[in-house]
Structure 1
Amino acid sequence: MSLDQAWRSELVGVGFIALLLIPLGLGTGYLIPILWAGLTLYLGWHLYQLYRFTRWISKPKSHPRPHPFGIWRPLMLRVDELSGRGQKRKRKLSRMLSGFLESTGALPDATVVLNDEGRLDWWNSVAADFLGLDRKRHKGALIDDLISDPVFLSYLHAGHYSRPLQMPAPVNANISLEVRIVPYGKGKRLLQARDITRLHQLEIVRRDFVANVSHEIRTPLTVVHGYVESMLESSETFLGPWKRILGQMQVQTLRMQRIVEDLLLLSRLETRRSSEGEGVVGVNALLRGIVDGARQLSGDKQHRITLDADERLRLVGNGHELESAFANLVYNAVRYTPAGGDIRIRWWLSGGGPCFSVTDSGIGIAPEHIPRLTERFYRVDVGRSRESGGTGLGLAIVKHVLSRHDGTLRVESEPGKGSVFTCRFPHARVAS
């Protein structure tokens, strides 16, 4: 029986009882008292049933069910039906949760669930090993109290999780971790940490190898270039037929020297601490020197180079590194802009922070090449790059310098219409 049918039956029953009580009241002369007594008994019965129902619904195992009589019978059946559905749903969710915990527990990466207050809700066994967590002591503890690394805390509270963080493991400084934080739900965060010790060691070996080889090559290159230059400047007649070959040798040794210098600079950027050598940099004066060098590099091409710089805007950073990054962008514009083209250099304070940009009317870059521009030795056009004297390392240097100064590089370009390279720095880098 449905609840609607039960209500109709209940009303029919009440009406039938009222029909019985009315003749009785009229015959005895006590119609109102008898009807009042009947209504009181009816309400009292339902109040008693409601009392039993509330006790039973709060503790089903401790209290008896209400009597399944009248409208209470379909109501109890409906409660039993909903309870059964709830139990099935609960068992299903329990199986899903067990599967989730089992799968995350089997992951090779440390996984930690943080609530909206930054407290630990759950973590897998790998997280216990990497981060030194104990289920009895650290459940509900603040992550700030368990991992005191200032770099990690700064990353955690900054809220910018687009890039992962590399840090030593709290329990063992010899283990290198790559930490990612993924926000989800209402203020919750998922912290993942991966062991990258092997990759870190390989990166150190690669970096040391490149630095050592570059350093060892620099000396013999200098000697070879010196001898070639001396022979080119010599007035000996027997060297006449060799002048063309010696000239080519000089060009290639100079190119190799530039590559070696760029490799050594990259190695220094990778090994030196970010804050080393930092101070207040007068960017306007720095750019004026770069513009003078760009005009010399332009030479007969007669590029129209303009500088628009805020003289009062200064930056906290390493002057030599910033000069290298800005010069690479400007000189690239000179190399890849046809003769008579326009090159505009800007330094200004925007709403997002200090900005440096180089706009040219050069050959432009196809969209598929832009994501790979900052890779080492990546060239859009190998032949054109070699002709212009590029090493393929300039934008890699720019990327490293900006990373060390909390900056980002944005490239906008269209083939045949030129390019815009924009460096953005945070407001915290502005020198007061």
Structure 2
Amino acid sequence: MSYVQEILEQVKKRNPGEAEFHQAVEEVLYSLEPIIEKHPEYKKVGLIERFVEPERVVMFRVPWLDDNGKVQVNRGFRVQFSSAIGPFKGGLRFHPSVTLGIIKFLGFEQILKNSLTSLPIGGGKGGSDFDPKGKSDTEVMKFCQSFMNELYRHIGQDLDVPAGDIGVGAREIGYLFGQYKKIKNQYEAGVLTGKGLTYGGSLARKEATGFGLIYFVREMLAAHGMDYKDKTVIISGSGNVAIYACQKVQEYGAKVIAMSDSSGYIIDEEGINLDTIKQLKEVERKRIKEYVNLHKNAKYFEGQQAIWHIPCDIALPCATQNDINLESAKKLVENGVKAIGEGANMPCTNEALAYFLEHNVLLAPAKAANAGGVATSALEMSQNSMRLHWSFEEVNEKLDQIMVNIFKASKAAAEEYDMPGNYVAGANIAGFLKVADAMMAQGIV
């Protein structure tokens, strides 16, 4: 059994039933095998063993009263995975699917994602199995306040800086920040990112993950003699990442013909009307099927997987983990897909990733391609520290350059280790080496 296989078996034994975490570790470690062989000193200090083990895991009870006066109890999590290169940094996810294993997979991915930004932030993640859908603003506020009553003990602008993720937008961040401020009795602006513009938030933060995805894929396409103009695009999801990926790719001249939510997907061969999507999702908080009531040529279909059966040039999975399985990957390749851009966290299964790479489909991996959100969160932290407020153009320009640099680093690492065009391995290697150097310098801690 190889060294990597031994570590994987150890991870599975120590973390039973956490399939997503096992999947994330497996995908990363196998791509790091050439690095581990080249650096025997890593084995001597147990660096890989420490790399896959969180520094700290916090799990807590979150009781709150619903509008009917009934006590509800949810479970809260914060996984502080690695502080080797900076304070823990990563979003909070409020969704019924949240478990410790989900949060650990997200926190593990965040280590490399944050490293790739070249900004001084470590990796962490948190959340709850609370579902904001169908809840009143008062219920969401009560939950967020109860959640922060415990979380505040474990975060701080120089310790751990949470942000938003699925189910945690500007509303939730506002309630969380308000409660933190009340408990701590001080205005610590940098403790949360994704804040409103009136109390320390950054322009372009809302757009950042979607825009960043499109900037990274733009660089990847250009490196292979292609661009977005007149390309047909499919985007899964219709949340923050999907909406702003759609906006930016349309600006580059592509046609987005399909989007989805957790119920089903729409097809609009004339091109998705983004104003309608924004109105439905950001303002009215309705299901995507309402789109067809406003655009008669569009069609709605229940379910999610079949969205990947629609022929397209570029597929952008921006919904959730394991969105594209092997069957869907085969269908995409059969229909001539040229590039995949992962906007969500780990949206392709490991089998799907391998299939795309085997068939020479350009693949922009999540930990590189969707790093724009956390990069802009770090820029928000910088503005908070300096008590400055940059313009949208300034932030967007910095974001664009960060994504260009991430692509260059991923490309260079892939080529150095004889895997040209394999940006999955390239991103893993480039992100890992920075963290590994920091861990070596800091001793066995």
TM range (shorter): under 0.3
TM-score by length of 2: 0.22
Give the number of the structure with larger relative contact order, counting CA–CA contacts within 8 Å between residues 6 or more apart. 2
Report the structure number with the largest CA radius of gyration: 1
TM-score by length of 1: 0.23
